[in-house]
Copies of this chain bind each other. A is one copy, B any other.
Amino acid sequence: MNKKMNILMFSGDYDKALAALVLANSARELEVDVTMFFAFWGLFLVRDPEKGGAEDKSLYEKMFGMVTPKGPEELPLSKMNMAGLGKYMLLEMMEDDKTPSLTDFLNGARKKGVKFYGCKLSVDVMGFKEDELIPEVKVITAKEYLADALNSDLQLFI
């Protein structure tokens, strides 16, 4: 399909990230061009779990980096997280069903050529350094996002 999908990933929830990445993977399998733009809490999904925080951060940026999820598997559920119990149940049900994990879907999207962008304003405010994010992520402005989204056939704010 000669079509284009653009997802603005604002949420940092496991379930919403799963929905977004299932759509991104499925769209690539249909040869749809896919862009994901990670803003605010959505950036936690593309944090590299292996990379520590950089040294040149303000106190708030350091605190913020420490109390927030590092990478896909640490994301909470948007509903019924129940201190992790709800998420545990969901993961068990996914496993029973042989559904791949969020990390699998993220890696699938990376391999299938989904384009990953990070929101410059969010990255600046939260004090993320580009090397704390997975290498596919290129930091762009809201205007660059708009130029892409306005020319897409399907845009979602998740």
Contacts and interface: CB of A to CB of B under 8 A. Distances in A.
Contact of A154 (B26, B96, B146): B146
A142 B24 CA distance: 10
A26 B143 contact: yes
B93 A150 contact: no
Interface residues of A, number: 58
Nearest to A26: B142
Contact of A60 (B10, B29, B93): B93
A16 interface: yes
A125 interface: yes
A15 B29 CA distance: 33
A125 B93 contact: yes
A145 B127 CA distance: 37
